[in-house]
Structure 1
Amino acid sequence: MVASLYLSFTDYSLIGDANWIGLENYQRMLEDPRLLTSIGVTFRYVFISVPLQLAMALGLAMVLDRGVRGLPIYRSIFYLPSLLGGSVAIAIMWRQVFGTEGLVNQVLAIFGVQGQGWISHPDYALDTLIILNVWTFGSPMVIFLAGLRQIPVMYYEAARVDGAGPIRRFLNITVPLLTPIIFFNLVLQIINAFQAFTQAFIVSGGKGGPSDSTLFYTLYLYERGFTAFDMGYASALAWLLLMIIGLFTALNFFMSKLWVFYGD
C-alpha cells in the first residue's frame, strides 16, 4: 500500500524508473471522461444490484427458516453461486447464456419473442451483470438465516395472539431485530460490489463493453495499469477507489445509528 501510494505521485510505466510528478495524476482525473463513465457505471451497478441481492437473500432465508425438510441441502445449493459467481468459468457461462444464441433467447423464442445479443447491447449489457450479482445471493442468505434463527419465537407467538398478521410481524418484529444483520450484509456487499472485476472483464472482453456500458471502475484501473502501462495513474485510481469505499463505509456506520437496533 505504501508503494502504491508513492507510485500514485509518479509517472511509472512498469518498465523504466518511476519519475516523481507530484499531484499531476490526481489533477488528470478531473479531465478524464472515461473515469467519470466508469464511476457512473459502477455506482449504478452497486446501487441496483446490492439492494436486489439483499432482498432476494432475505426472502429465501425466511422461506428456509420455516423448517423446510432437507434444509442443509437447499442451503448448500443456494450458497453454491456465491462460491462460483466471481470465477472466470461462471462469467464465460453468463456470456453464453445472454449471447445471441444463448439460453435466454432460446426461452424467449418459445413464446415467439425475438431475442438479441444482450451483452452486446449498450442498454442491457450492464443489466446482465446486475443479474449475475443478484444470483450470487448465497453468502448474505446464510447470514440472514443465522440471524433469523436468533429471533425468539415467543415474540411471534405474542404477536399472533394480539392479532398481528404476517406483514405486521415482519415489519415490527423481524426487520427491527434483524437490522444488525442487514447492516453487516449491506456494508459487506457494497464493498464487494465496488471491487467487482472478473464478471465485467470476461463478459465485456476486457474492453468495457459496447459504448463503455460495462466499464467498471476496477476494469478501467486494470486497463490503465496493465494495458496502457500507466501504473502511476492506475495507482492514483486505486487510492481514489479506496477513498470512495471508505466514504461509503463511514456513511453507513454513521447512518446506522438511525435505523440499526441492538439488544441493549
Structure 2
Amino acid sequence: MKLWHNAKFREQLAGYLFILPNFAGYLLFVLLPILFSLYLVFVDWEYLKGFAGIKWVGLDNFRALADDPKFTKSLQHNLLFTAISVPASMVIGLLLAVVMNKYVYFKNTLRTLIFLPYMSSLAAVSVIWSILYNSTSGPINAFLRSIGIAHPPGWLASPHSSMYAIIIMSVWMTIGYTMVIYLAGLQGISKDLYEASEIDGASKARQLLQITIPMLTPTTFLILVTQLIWSFQVFAPVAIMSQGGPIDSSMVLSYHIYLQAFRFYKMGYAAAMSWVLFAIIFVVTIIQWQSQKRWQNHF
C-alpha cells in the first residue's frame, strides 16, 4: 500500500500502461515473428500440415543456398538493380533539386508533379508501366517506331531488357523522393558561399562541384542509406510486371523468397534466404555508418 501511495511509482506505472498496447502489438506482430523466422532457418516446415510438419534439418538450408543457381542469379540481379538505380536516382534528383531551388516558373506545380509518382500506389504504377512496356501495342514502342526505330526493345518480354525496364520505372518513381530531400538540404547552405564564389569568378558548374555537393554530404548519406536498403528489398515491381521472368532474367531475392515460401511451401529455406538478405543489408549499412565520418571529412 505504501508503494501505491508513492507518487513516483504511480507516475511510472501510468507511463508503462500507456505504452503497453503499442508494446503488446510490437511483441505479437514483430518480435515473435522475427524469432520464429530465426527458428525456421534450422527446420524444414510444410506449413499446410501445421506444426506437425516441422522437421529439424540443422544447417541444411544454408548448404542448399550454395547449390541454388536461382539464389546466385537473384543476388546478381539485386546488385545490378542497386548499382544502377541508386546512383541514377540520386544524380537526377540532385540536378532537379538544384534547378527547382532557383527561380523557375511553376516551381510548386513542377515539384508536386515530380514527387507525385513516389506517393502513388506502387502496384498501380507497376500495372501502368506494364502497359506502357507492351512490346507490340505499348505506347513506348509505338513512339520508337514512329521515329524510325524498326525493332524497338522487347522490354518486359525480353530476357535482355526486362531487368533494365524495371530499373527505369523504379528510378522514375524515386527521383521525387531524392529531389525533395536534396531540396531540404539546399535550404541549409548559406547564400554567402555562392556570392563569394561569384566574386571570385566561379562558374555554375564549379559552384555545384565545390560548394553544393560537399555541403550536401550529410543529405547524400541519408539518401544513400535509405535507397540502398530499399533497392535490396525491391519486390512489387518484379512481382507485378515480370514475375521474375522471362527465364528468370528479372528474378530478385525478395521475389525468390516469396516463391519458395508461398508457391513451393519451403518455409525453412525461404527463412534462410530472408536472413541472408537481412545480413547483406545489415553489413552494407554498418559499413556506411563506419565510413560516414571519413567520407564527410574527405569533402
Using structure 2 for the length normalisation, give the TM-score.
Answer: 0.84
Aligned residue pairs: how many? 260
Matches for 1:174-189 after TM superposition, within 5 Å: 174-189=212-227
Whether 1:31 and 2:56 are equivalent positions in the alignment is no
| 1:133, distance to aligned residue in structure 2 (A) | 1.1
**Which SS does the other structure have where 1:19 is aligned?**
strand
| 1:72, distance to aligned residue in structure 2 (A) | 2.4
| Partner of residue 207, structure 2 | 169
Deviations 1:83-109 (A, max 9, x none): 22x621111111111111111111111
| Partner of residue 36, structure 2 | 3
| Partner of residue 160, structure 2 | 123
Alpha-carbon distance between aligned partners in 1 of 2:297 and 2:87, rounded to the nearest angstrom: 20
| Partner of residue 14, structure 1 | 47
Larger Rg: 2
Identity %: 35
Q: CA RMSD in A?
A: 1.6
| Partner of residue 130, structure 2 | 95
CA contact (8 A) 1:45 1:130 kept: yes
| Partner of residue 238, structure 1 | 274
| Partner of residue 88, structure 2 | 52
| Partner of residue 160, structure 1 | 198
Whether 1:192 and 2:235 are equivalent positions in the alignment is no
| 1:255, distance to aligned residue in structure 2 (A) | 2.5
Amino acid at match of 2:127: I
Deviations 1:21-67 (A, max 9, x none): 11111111111111001000111001111100111110100000003
| 1:69, distance to aligned residue in structure 2 (A) | 3.8
| 1:261, distance to aligned residue in structure 2 (A) | 5.0
Using structure 1 for the length normalisation, give the TM-score.
Answer: 0.95
CA contact (8 A) 1:13 1:229 kept: yes
Return 5+ residue gaps in structure 2 as ranges.
1-33
Deviations 1:127-164 (A, max 9, x none): 10110111011111100000011100000000111111
CA contact (8 A) 2:43 2:56 kept: yes
Alpha-carbon distance between aligned partners in 2 of 1:239 and 1:67, rounded to the nearest angstrom: 48
CA contact (8 A) 2:257 2:274 kept: yes
Whether 1:107 and 2:140 are equivalent positions in the alignment is no
Using CA pairs below 8 Å that are at least 6 residues apart, which structure has the higher relative contact order? Answer: 1
